[in-house]
Amino acid sequence: MTAWVRLCVASCLLLLAASAAVAQQPFITVASTTSTEESGLFGYLLPAFTKETGIQVRVVAVGTGQALKIGEHGDCDVVFVHDTAAELAFVERGFGLDRRDVMYNDFVLVGPRGDPAHVDGGKDIVVAFREIADAKAPFVARGDDSGTSKAEMRLWSEADIDPKRAEAGWYRDTGSGMGPTLNMAAAMDGYTLSDRGTWLSFKNKQNLKIVVEGDRRLFNQYGVMLVNPAKHPYVKQDLGRKFIDWLISAAGQETIAGYRIDGAQLFFPDTRGPPS
Amino acid sequence: MHDLLDALAAAWQLVLSGDPTLVAIVSLSLGISLTAVVLASILGLPLGATLAVLRFPGRNAATVVVNALMGLPPVVAGLFVYLLLSRSGPLGSLGLLFTPTAMVIAQVVLVTPIIAAVARQMLEDLWREYRDLYFLDGASRVRTVCSLLWLGRFSLLTAVLAGVGRAVAEVGAILIVGGNIAGVTRTMTTAIALETSRGDLALALGLGIILLSLILAINATAQFVRNTARRAAAI
């Protein structure tokens, strides 16, 4: 039995040694959203930052709700998400510092070419939501506490509709990320609200197209903040601050503006919030 | 049909291109899973043998627990390890969350019960056959467990391979504790999940085909080694 114990101890030491070997280059961990990762923005933006500063950025891409939770636990150094109300609450509760607006993009309403709710070309997103509910056309929802999900729920409440209590099963709450939700909308010819970045880089569009866009209520603001080092002493505040400063610097903002897919700009740099 | 052909083409292209990202992802996948299986074997095989040989109060209960843990949902194991390793958790000071080490730990949690349970079943049958010999010999318990493991080494390979299968194919646990960070904790399975969400179904399935070929190769190698060794041992 002692041999067994010795082996266990040896393997634990091996594990620790292996993990120490990984941490060579200085790095920060950023909790962010699926929209920034899946749209390919980080793949374009982060190498530029790393090249300039030598700091590696490790992105954990989850929904906004979960990203804030990771920050709350102190498991990342910087949070980069898109739900201003939840971000301000996060700072208010003392978990985050120095929240800054970084950029915005917009949401688009995506739907099947057949357009059973006749909303194509509309300019008023709330009216379009009402028409979808009236037509009981399939609507595929994130339902995962993400920034997109919260924006969608705000639009339903502006339309005076509670889709979660709607009958006839036209409202499908999938509890998944933007990509899987778009996959489902494509498969069942449903409508869904997507951020433009994920939509543009999404490769399985099938019969889907943008039906409503351009409403001011569809602006989608991204903010960045440092996890409060007073709560979590492990937070690499110097490196984290460098990242935040770079994002809002002229160089960072230009890089964000330079990211395009098929000529279309995905994110609009703005350190003062979107135009109203 | 169109998508399936695209996937085959994507798999071929990936393999032929020798893409360094792909090589890194594949090595990380294999490194994590094989390390986890080695550690889980070190823990699970003696545990299985102990359950097969020793008679102690609570042995039946322990067997039931080990068997039940074979069905542990990866997401639950991942969440458990996540909370353990989180900066706010009991082992937070180690700073292991979102590292390959955390992924190894989560897979050890998942794989150990499988190896232990399968090993216990096999060794119990063996034990029934040889019990009287061991009693005559007057061997100590530790020696009995060790010699039984040695005696059953060829069939125990199946227990280990079951563990490899679970580890290499698993995504729920490593996604949570690894975070699917590009270049750091992205493995075959988490990359497949990501490409599926990006709607690049051909690339996702292509990666899946490569993963499946690797699992086949591992099993074929194991089979070959077992046959060769068995012939050499002449049993």
Question: Looking at the domain assignment, is residue A2 inside a domain?
Answer: no
Question: Looking at the domain assignment, is residue A16 inside a domain?
Answer: no
Verify that A110 and A213 share a domain, yes or no: yes
The two tokens of residue B138 are 């007057």
> Residues near B105 by Cβ (< 8 Å), separated by ≥ 6?
A15, B81, B85, B96, B177
Verify that A158 and A177 share a domain, yes or no: yes
Ranking A35-49, A242-256, B99-113 by mean pLDDT, the lowest is: A35-49
Determine which of B86, B96, B103, B181 to mutate to test the interface with A (most A C-beta atoms within 10 Å): B181
Verify that A192 and A154 share a domain, yes or no: yes
Quote the pLDDT of residue A237.
94
Domain boundary among A177, A197, A218: A218
Q: Is residue B53 scored above 80 in pLDDT?
A: yes
Contact A33, A23 (CB under 8 A): no
Verify that A185 and A210 share a domain, yes or no: yes
What mean pLDDT comes out for the span B117-122?
94
pLDDT tens digit sequence for B148-205: 899 898 889 999 999 999 999 999 999 999 999 988 999 999 999 988 888 888 888 8
Interface contact A17, partner B, CB < 8 A? no
Using CB atoms, which residue from A59, A179, A186 is nearest to B197? A179
Question: Looking at the domain assignment, is residue A18 inside a domain?
Answer: no
Verify that A193 and A98 share a domain, yes or no: no
CB–CB contacts below 8 A, A to B: 88
Verify that A79 and A33 share a domain, yes or no: yes
Question: pLDDT-based confidence at B115, cuts 50/70/90?
Answer: very high
Verify that A225 and A92 share a domain, yes or no: yes
Question: Looking at the domain assignment, is residue A38 inside a domain?
Answer: yes
Question: pLDDT-based confidence at A1, cuts 50/70/90?
Answer: very low
Question: Looking at the domain assignment, is residue A276 inside a domain?
Answer: no
Q: Domain locations in chain B?
A: 2-223
The two tokens of residue B217 are 């190769």
Q: What is the CATH number of domain B2-223?
A: 1.10.3720.10
Q: Which residues of chain B lie closer than 8 angstroms to A60, CB-CB? A: 98, 179-181
- For residue A78, the domain's CATH number is 3.40.190.10
pLDDT tens digit sequence for A74-86: 999 999 999 999 9
Is B197 in contact with A74 (Cβ distance < 8 A)?
no
Interface contact A183, partner B, CB < 8 A? yes
pLDDT tens digit sequence for A124-136: 999 999 999 999 9
Distance CA A188, CA A147 (A): 24
Question: Looking at the domain assignment, is residue A164 inside a domain?
Answer: yes
Verify that A196 and A263 share a domain, yes or no: no
Q: What is the pTM of this model?
A: 0.83
What mean pLDDT comes out for the span A55-84?
94
Distance CA B235, CA B229 (A): 9
Is B86 in contact with A38 (Cβ distance < 8 A)?
no
Is A204 in contact with B199 (Cβ distance < 8 A)?
yes
Question: Looking at the domain assignment, is residue A5 inside a domain?
Answer: no
The two tokens of residue A136 are 């009981």
Determine which of A203, A232, A235 to mutate to test the interface with B (most B C-beta atoms within 10 Å): A203
Interface contact A28, partner B, CB < 8 A? no
Verify that A111 and A173 share a domain, yes or no: yes
Verify that A69 and A150 share a domain, yes or no: no
Q: Which residue segment(s) compose the domain that A200 sits in? A: 106-218
Ranking A90-94, A248-252, B75-79, B199-203 by mean pLDDT, the lowest is: B199-203
Verify that A91 and A124 share a domain, yes or no: no
Tally of domains within chain A: 2
Q: Greatest CA span in chain B, whole angstroms?
A: 67
Interface contact A63, partner B, CB < 8 A? no
Verify that A115 and A242 share a domain, yes or no: no
Question: Looking at the domain assignment, is residue A177 inside a domain?
Answer: yes
